[in-house]
Amino acid sequence: MLHGLVTNIPIPEKFNFPFDYIPHPLSLLACKMLQSHLLSQKEWKHNFGLDADDGLPVIGKMFGVLVVMTEEGKLGYLAAFSGKLAGSNHHSFFVPPVYDGLAFDGFLNSGMMEISEYGRRIAALELLGNNSSLKEIDMVRETRRRRSVELQNNLFDQYRFLNQFGIEKSIRDIFYATGHKNPPAGAGECAAPKLLQYAFQHQLKPISMAEFWWGVSPKSAHWKHGQFYPSCQEKCAPILAHMLEGLELEKPLQRSH
C-alpha cells in the first residue's frame, strides 16, 4: 500500500488545506506516479472513457494521493479512489475502504437479501387483492421500512474514523455534531478519508495530499480529465474536520473557483 518516494523536494511545513489548495510538488510527483500506474496496470479493467469503447459503462473516477512519512523518517505515498473501481473496493496498489460494504458474507449483503424478500412477499400479496392481503401488505411494508432504517444505521456505525491522536468517531456521531440528521449517501467513500484512515492506522505522518479526476466526466458534472480538485464539502468536510484535528494546516487560498 505504501509506495516509495525518493526525491530532494523539500517537505512542506504545514499540511495543505484540502478544500482550497495548489498541489505541492511532492503531491504532484506522487500523482504522476499513480497516473503512470493507471496507464500501465493489467490487474483490473475499468472504462474511464479515454480509449476505444470496450463495451463497459464509461465511469470517470476521482483519485487521491497522500504523501506520508514513516516513523523512521522515510517518505512515501498512499493512493486511493473514490467509491468502487472496476466493481471492487480492493486493488493491490490502493488503500482499502474504511468499511467494505461489498463483502458477500457481511451483514449488509444478508440484510439486503432480507429486504428483497419483503419486496417479493408484498408483490405476491398484491396479486391476491383481497382485504386480508391488503392489511398484511401494510404490515410487511412497515416491517420492511423499519428493517431498512436499522440496516442503514448499522451500516453507518461501521464507518469509524481516526485522527492522529487515535480518537475514533463513528460517521453518525460526526454528522450529528454538525447538525445533520444522517450522513449523506456515499459519505466516507471518498479518497481523502480512505487515505488518512490508512495513514493513522499505520502510524504514518500526513505530509501533503491531492485529488484529481481521471476519465470522462458524467454529464451532470464538470470535472475534467487530469485536473486537480478540492475535497467535497457535503460528504468530506465534517469527516476531515475530525480526521485533521491537531494537524497544522495551510490557509485556504481564497481564490475564485
Per-residue pLDDT of the chain (257 residues; tens, 9 = 90+): 899 988 899 999 999 999 999 999 999 999 999 999 999 999 999 989 887 666 777 889 999 999 999 999 999 999 999 999 998 999 999 999 998 876 655 666 777 788 888 888 888 888 877 777 888 888 889 998 988 888 878 888 889 999 999 999 999 899 988 887 788 888 899 999 999 999 999 999 999 999 999 999 887 778 899 999 999 989 999 999 999 999 999 998 875 44
Beta strands in 10-90 (DSSP E): 61-69, 75-81
Q: Which of 95, 247, 234, 99 is nearest to 167 (CA)?
A: 247
Backbone angles phi, psi at 143, to 5 degrees: -60, -45
Report d(CA 97, CA 183) in Å as an integer.
17
Residue (of 79, 91, 87) closest to 192 by Cα position: 79
- The phi and psi torsions of 80 (rounded to 5 degrees) equal -150, 160
Region of residue 87 (phi > 0: left; psi between -120 and 50: alpha; otherwise: beta): left
Report yes or no: 86 and 96 within 8 Å, Cβ to Cβ: no
